[in-house]
Chain A
Amino acid sequence: MNYAASPVLALRLPLWRSRLLLALIAGGFLVLAGRAVYLQGLNNDFLQQKGESRYSRVLEISANRGRITDRHGEALAISTPVKSVWAIPEEVQFSSQQRAKLAALLEMPPQEIDKRLNEATSFVYLKRQIPPEAAERVSELHIPGLFQNREYRRYYPGGEVMAHVLGFTGADDAGQEGIELAFQSTLAGKSGSRRVIKDRMGQIVEDMESIREAQNGRDLALALDAKLQNLAYSQLKLAVEAHKAKAGAIVVLDAKTGEVLALANLPTYNPNNRSRLSGAQLRNRVITDTFEPGSTLKPFTVALAIDQGKVTPETMIATASGSLSIGKATIHDAHTFGDMSVAQVIQRSSNVGAARIALGLPAEAMWAMFDQVGFGRAPRLGFPGEVSGKLRAYKTWRPIEQATMAYGHGISVSLLQLARAYTIFARDGELMPLSLLRVDSPLAGKQVITADTARKLRAMLEMAVEVGGTAPKARVMGYRVAGKTGTAHKEENGAYAAHKYVSSFVGLAPVSDPRLVIAVMLDEPSAGQYYGGAVAAPVFSAVMGGALRMLGVRPDAPLKPLELPPAGSEIKEGV
């Protein structure tokens, strides 16, 4: 039987069956097409997201914290990446040999590792901030359950020398003290992120978009001169040790620009290793502490009297008695020399003389003078914890208070305020705004006293450091120096402590064209000597001499060795 004759072929099926089949198949296609349109056109987010997650990755871009450098670009603070080792204790498995190696790399006893691993089950830091090389060797141990992440740590090569100016950062690289805190917004970097396409080898093959631009922190050039800072710090340290002082502070200002060239404090700390820090170590005595300045304030009273035409440097003041009674109180001088001229009042630091001059001045004018040179106001450096000091309103002054304020009691200032105030003598009457950052074009100062008065005061202050003045030890070979000593009783519980003093010296040089203002303060020198001229003046001399030579300032005095007066013959100021 051949095929063509098959009876099946002759069979005729009803037409509706094929139509039905066609309709069903067409319907199926329509449903598929509809679904396709829905997924690809109308509701495509979900699938696109799924697809993207197969190849695109969001990467974090880390940003560096800015470096801090001194005025010559020498690095003072640098952030560098370090690794932190953390573990998921449940997953950690190691042999005792591996454990010993790990302990050696992390520089901790093996028992400590066990203790940490038993603390939690899901996450625990084994050690934070280890050097990258050590971290690499840890990862070579291939211990499961051990992970690392990248952090930044800030290093301060200057150590304790610069500690108070720079401050430090915390574990999250945010400023906590000093410049690091004051300029946090400038220094801090902003980390960014971007989306990229990675191939199956994990290599980035295409940049899709930048979600957030990473911004590195900006570098900061300070006004500080590292060399000068070191000189100031080491000289201060010698003096604090020699005089067994509780604390000491020094600040060096550039009189031409108002820049802070050096600022040091003792006791200090090492910012790279901050375990066991005490409050005394952290205190920045130059900026955040006030003290009663004592005689270093006399020049301001005298400057006001000269400016107002009340006296001239040659006017004689009745100081022969060595004491002056105002109401119930009496002011004393340490020595009596008969009547003195105004210039001699400064040279020999007579309290009685200064008080008499002050009593001839209106209280309001004296207050205005102190206010204009910046006492009672924060210096607005942007430094955390700047103090304004204490200057009471003149309406509340009694005559005795006006008299004692003339020689720096009953008023409190910070060392920085004091140094800044002396810029009026260094700059022919102009008070300079200060800056912790390098200044390329100095701001204008504010005229407080006339240039003529400032020059007269400079001449008087120069007499104070000559033989016959209170601070011959402040002199510097080759340069004419001017300055004033201060010795004040410390106030304790509202009364003056009998044998606790603050010794200070503020001065400027060279007198012919002042370049630097330096203020030195020693708190409670207790090795016998406590007069500013014996304790603080030698520090001033050493730092000023070294600094002027470093800066290449032309000498303005004959270059012959200085002859110091025989011991014991110094003129002591009234306390």
Chain B
Amino acid sequence: MGRVNLVLLLVLTACALGLVTSQHQARKLFAELEREQERAQQLDVEWGQLQLEQSTWAMHARIEKIARERLRMSVPDARRTQVILPGTDAGTQTEAKR
């Protein structure tokens, strides 16, 4: 009887220690999760800011201005435009040339 009790006591102690370590592990992992979530949120904010920046740089008005002024581009005049429809003779010719 005494022996069984002793074994049980040892098992109990082992379980208790196990519980303590696993709880500690859980808390450590949880803290890590929290940190990662915080980082995810920060990255999300940064993404928003980058999107904003991209939209600002890619504003159509800005692109048009640069194209016109710095690159000296212009919308082709109707007289200098040739439209080639797919399926027509002109269309198949240009396709063939490629």
Contacts and interface: CB of A to CB of B under 8 A. Distances in A.
A244 interface: no
Interface string A225-238: 01100110010000
Given A75-B51, A561-B78, A230 B34 contact: no
B31 to A, nearest CB: 5
Contacts of B52: 75, 78, 80, 155, 157
A155 B55 CA distance: 10
Contacts of A76: 55
Contacts of A226: 60
Interface residues of B, number: 25
Interface in B55-92: 55-56, 58-61, 64, 78-79, 81-83, 85
Given A78-B51, A230-B61, A477-B81, A207 B30 contact: yes
A80 B47 CA distance: 10
B55 A561 contact: no
The B interface, classified by DSSP as helix, strand, loop or mixed, is: helix
> What class of interface size applies to chain A in its complex with B?
20 to 34
Contacts of B48: 64, 67, 78-80
Interface stretch (A39-47, A198-206, A420-428, A488-496): A198-206
B27 A555 contact: no
A206 B27 contact: yes
A78 B48 CA distance: 7
B85 A204 contact: no
B78 A477 contact: yes
Given A80-B45, A80-B48, A161-B61, A204 B30 contact: yes
B49 interface: yes
A204 B79 contact: no
A405 to B, nearest CB: 39
B78 A230 contact: no
A81 B54 CA distance: 17
25 contacts: A64-B44, A64-B48, A75-B51, A78-B48, A80-B52, A157-B52, A157-B55, A157-B56, A158-B59, A159-B59, A161-B61, A203-B34, A205-B27, A205-B31, A206-B27, A207-B30, A230-B60, A230-B61, A230-B64, A231-B60, A234-B61, A234-B64, A478-B83, A555-B83, A555-B85
Interface of A: 64, 67, 74-76, 78-81, 155, 157-159, 161, 199, 203-207, 226-227, 230-231, 234, 477-478, 554-555, 559, 561-562
